A and B are shown apart, each in its own frame.
Chain A
Amino acid sequence: GNSVTQMEGPVTLSEEAFLTINCTYTATGYPSLFWYVQYPGEGLQLLLKATKADDKGSNKGFEATYRKETTSFHLEKGSVQVSDSAVYFCALSDPYSSASKIIFGSGTRLSIRP
């Protein structure tokens, strides 16, 4: 079945460091791919998305490229800030679902030191 695997956390970095959070997926067909972010005590917010191979999603300095050949959607940011501390979820939409069901990874907690 469809699934998402992302790197386990926590990930701790210093401010201005380069960030990569790995995400790979298993799916039949051509799913859409998402990164969501969750700040403490809040719901999830969509960070970025890509709907087809080689698409690059970007937002707030974060980027991820839909790589069908490696079934990956790694999240990157060139220079992280303390305010980026949160839990990040990689996710995919079930391409055969008419209900826009989304499958989430287990989340990666990111902590940024000043």
Chain B
Amino acid sequence: DGGITQSPKYLFRKEGQNVTLSCEQNLNHDAMYWYRQDPGQGLRLIYYSQIVNDFQKGDIAEGYSVSREKKESFPLTVTSAQKNPTAFYLCASSEGRASNEQFFGPGTRLTVL
């Protein structure tokens, strides 16, 4: 089955620690995205990548970093510089052409203790 996987489902970290969230897709999509969702709110774009070895900042990139070394993988690192990292993180992919929908993974809930 084609789709997007995110791991882990739940993640806990202590303040001051970096943590990396995994996102893998086997849809052969060119574009991948990371969103943050806070309770009762919509999605905010963190980073996106249109092609391997290239990525762009979204609306709220501060305190986050990404890499795109392989087409199927787009990991997100939440650094200690992110002031309020507790949130639900969603990864998505698309074929990359205008008007195409995005396909979402199941999400990772990050809690900072």
Which A residues lie at the B interface, using CB under 8 A?
31-32, 34, 36, 41-46, 49, 51, 89, 93-102, 104-107, 109
Residue B62 at the A interface, CB < 8 A?
no
Chain B interface category by residue count = 20 to 34
Q: Does A98 contact B42, Cβ atoms closer than 8 Å?
A: no
Q: Does A93 contact B96, Cβ atoms closer than 8 Å?
A: no
CA separation between A23 and B95, bound complex, in Å? 26
Q: Does A100 contact B94, Cβ atoms closer than 8 Å?
A: yes
CA separation between A102 and B42, bound complex, in Å? 12
Residue B104 at the A interface, CB < 8 A?
yes
Which B residues lie at the A interface, using CB under 8 A?
4, 6, 31, 33, 40-43, 45, 48, 50, 56, 90, 92, 94-107, 109
Q: Does B105 contact A99, Cβ atoms closer than 8 Å?
A: no
Q: Which residue of B lies closest to A29 (CB)?
A: B98
Residue contacts A-B, CB under 8 angstroms, 26 given: A32-B98, A36-B104, A41-B107, A41-B109, A43-B4, A43-B90, A44-B43, A44-B90, A44-B92, A46-B102, A51-B99, A93-B100, A95-B98, A95-B99, A96-B98, A99-B31, A99-B96, A100-B31, A100-B96, A100-B102, A101-B33, A101-B45, A102-B102, A106-B41, A107-B41, A109-B40
